[in-house]
Copies of this chain bind each other. A is one copy, B any other.
Amino acid sequence: MARTRHERFDCSGGCPVEATLALIGGKWKGVILWHLLHGTMRFNEIRRRLSGVTQRMLTNQLRELEADGLIIRTVYPQVPPKVEYCLSEHGRSLEPVILALKAWGEANVLAPALPPVSSIKESMTSAAA
C-alpha cells in the first residue's frame, strides 16, 4: 500500500543516490525527517509545522516512512488518541544527509538570486539554429 517508487532501481552500475532519494524524496518526507531530528512529535504537532499538508498526505508520508523503517510510530491506547512519531536508528542515520540538504538549501536556494548561467553559451547555441 502506497509504495511509491522504492521497488525498482534499474540504473545499472549502482545508484544508491536514487535509492536514498526514493526514500526521502516525497514532497514532505525530507521536512518531516528534519523536524523529527529535533525529537519525538505527535501527529498534529507535525501537522502544524508543515502548514499546508493535509491529513491524508501526512498520514501517507508517515506510513511510508514507517514502512521504510525510518521512523517509529507509537500509538498509546488512549482516547482521544495519542500517537507519537520518532526517528528509528535507521532514520537517525540519515541525519548527515538531511543536514547536508538543509545546509545546501540555505546557502544556495534561499539566499542568493542565482543568475541564469544559461546566457554564456547561448551564443554557441544560436549558432546551430
- Chain B positions within 8 Å of A14 at CB level: 106, 110
A13 contacts which chain B residues (CB < 8 A)?
A: 49
Q: How many copies does the complex hold?
A: 2
Q: Mark A93-128, 1 if CB is under 8 A from B, else 0.
A: 110111011111111111000111110110011011
Interface contact A108-B90, CB-CB below 8 Å: yes
Q: How long is the Cα–Cα vector from A118 to B124 in the complex, in angstroms? A: 56
A20 touches B97 (CB 8 A): no
Q: Which of B76, B96, B105, B114 contacts A124 (CB 8 A)?
A: B76
B77 touches A127 (CB 8 A): yes
**Given A81-B128, A128-B81, also A20-B105 (CB < 8 A):** yes
Tell me which residues across on chain B come within 8 A of A125, comparing CB atoms: 73, 75
Are B10 and A124 interface neighbours, CB within 8 A? no
**Which residues of chain B are within 8 angstroms of A3 by Cβ–Cβ distance?**
none
